[in-house]
């Protein structure tokens, strides 16, 4: 079995045990509200939402206390 196939099998198994495993692992759902996170926003922990963007050719990272604040 190739590494990629093994990973896919493990992910499939975890999703049968916990249907939300893929959602939680991907970080695309906001646990505080249950809503999907806006594009470009990632959840880091309680009241920690991070965005990254390019400013003057440099990557800038900021952390906000809500997904709505991080979106703007």
Q: Return the beta strands (E) in the chain as ranges.
A: 41-45, 48-55, 58-64
Q: What is the pLDDT of residue 66?
A: 92
| Cβ pair 38, 32 in contact under 8 A | no
Cβ burial of 27 (10 Å; 0-12, 13-18, 19+) is middle
Rg (CA), the chain: 16
pTM above 0.75, yes or no: no
Instruction: Give the residue among 44, 53, 51 at the shortest CA–CA distance from 70.
Output: 51
Q: What is the pLDDT of residues 42-61, one digit of tens each?
A: 999 899 999 998 899 999 99
Instruction: Give the residue among 49, 6, 42, 2 at the shortest CA–CA distance from 24.
Output: 42
């Amino acid at each position: 079995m190739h590494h990629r196939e093994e990973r896919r099998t493990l992910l499939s198994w975890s999703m049968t045990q916990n249907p939300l495993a893929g959602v939680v692992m991907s970080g695309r759902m906001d646990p505080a509200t249950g809503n999907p996170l806006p594009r470009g926003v990632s959840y880091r922990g309680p009241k920690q939402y991070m965005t990254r963007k390019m400013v003057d050719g440099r990557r800038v990272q900021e952390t906000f206390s809500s997904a709505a604040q991080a979106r703007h």
